[in-house]
Amino acid sequence: MTGLAAAVTGVGFWALVVLATVTGLVTAWALGANSNSPPFAPAIGANAISTMRAAFLIGILAALGALTQGGAISETVGAGLIDGVAITSLAATAGLLTATAFMAFGVYTGYPVPAAFATTGAMVGVGLSLGGDPAIDTYRRIATFWVLVPPVSGGLAYLTATILRRDDIPETVGIPLLAALVGAIVANVRLAIIPDPSGGEQGSIAGYLAGFVDAPTVASVDLAVVAVTLLAAAGGFQFIRRRTQQSVDRGVRTFLVLLGSLVAFSSGGSQVGLATGPLENLYRVELGLPSLVLLAVGATGILAGAWMGAPRLLQATSREYAQLGIRRSIAALVPGFVIAQTAIALGIPISFNNIIISGVIGGGLAGGSAGVSRRKITVTLAFWIITLVTSVAIGFGLYRAFALALGA
């Protein structure tokens, strides 16, 4: 009976592995279909790219972002939210089912349910249900970042929209200046495929190229990195300036497509951890697989979701962005890129709804009106709080129910 019991136990383990993986794939699919679509909506609204081509690019870019930048947030969601216990396959399944249910509710009802809030709350709930201790320092760090997102995103959008609206700053200068800022950030984005001279897991283009030059360091700042960053900024400025000088409309549309591509890439890197994080202990510890395998699972789900589900959402959101106007759309996307990359660097799960909505409001204020009613803002904020609190409770209860049903 001992051998039979072991076999049954082994079958049960692999059944939970399959169930947890499928649940993670479904969550990644939902993220790919919904959370990664907004970056290209302005470009579609401006007729800079077709809906199907945008959906194709979203899938590719988001999947690449997931593979090259998703590790930090995945680790935070999977191991940083609870102290003292490891997330089991059953707990991961319960957490992912809870988060996916919230996202499905948001899709079918139209209420703004942020995926980051739902997943974070669900994983805290299942972790507490396992008997773990709250990771207070992590909660404080995440909460501080979440609270700062609306004013920072809105403020950056307001500043961007103000620059684009000024009559004394021609568009052949204003748009290229934004391109220079984006180019400087791209040069310092950390990617898993780039070696890090300092020995880290991810390196940046600026850091890698600076390693070939023996440059002095001033106040802990590598002057070679600064030089590469300035060159990237100059390259972005010059490229978009030439396009806008040939045709302002063409230059703006080119910048919209490039900016949308970068935000979609960043979205994949920041969102995949919401699907793969709960599976971190299962894949890396229990199965002994490298993190790249887990990220590949999440990237596959995001790719499928973007290709299968994004076109419908893109058509709907592009009409909203078309009403906002091209320049206000740019003002909303620039902070989206900046904040997403900051969150990835810090390993903090974020909601793109939070960033984009705040950016739209900030960009609207530059024109004298936010364009979003107080009631809509209040409802959105209320649902963010409700999502976070109730996902903790449901995750806690769902794992307890699973454990009782299976005798775990």
pLDDT, tens digit, 9 for 90 and up, residues 384-399: 888 899 999 999 999 9
User: Considering the domain boundaries, does residue 107 fall inside one?
Assistant: no
pLDDT 10s digits, 176-203: 999 999 999 999 998 888 887 766 667 8
| pLDDT per position as a tens digit, 137-164 | 999 999 999 989 888 988 888 888 888 8
Report yes or no on 159 lying in a domain: yes
Q: Once rounded to an integer, what is the mean pLDDT over residues 276-291?
A: 88
pLDDT band at 3; cut points 50, 70, 90: very low
Largest interatomic CA distance in the chain: 84
pLDDT value, residue 324: 65
Residue 110 identity (one-letter amino acid): G
What sign for the dihedral angle of Cα 120, 125, 128, 132?
negative
pLDDT value of position 65: 92
Is 345 within a domain? yes
Angle (CA) 6-9-13 rounded to 5° is 135
302, part of any domain = yes
Residue 17 included in any domain: no
Q: Is residue 388 part of a domain?
A: no
User: How far is it, in rounded angstroms, from Cα 121 to Cα 139?
Assistant: 11
Sign of torsion, CA 178 179 182 187? Answer: negative
**Is there a domain that residue 382 lies in?**
no
pLDDT band with cut points at 50, 70 and 90 for residue 233:
very high
Whole domain around residue 162: which residue ranges? 22-81+135-191+228-372
Instruction: Indicate whether this model's pTM tops 0.95.
Output: no
Q: Residue 3 contacts by C-beta under 8 Å, 6 or more apart in sequence?
A: none
Cβ neighbours of residue 331 closer than 8 Å, sequence gap 6 or more: 157, 158, 160, 161, 164, 359, 362, 363, 366
Looking at residue 2, what is its pLDDT? Answer: 45
pLDDT confidence tier of residue 7, bands split at 50, 70 and 90: very low
Query: For residue 109, with 0-12 CB atoms within 10 Å meaning exposed, 13-18 middle and 19 or more buried, which class applies?
Result: exposed
How many domains, in total, are found in the chain? 1
Among 12-21, 33-42, 87-96, the least confident range: 33-42
Q: Which two tokens stand for residue 333?
A: 């996307």
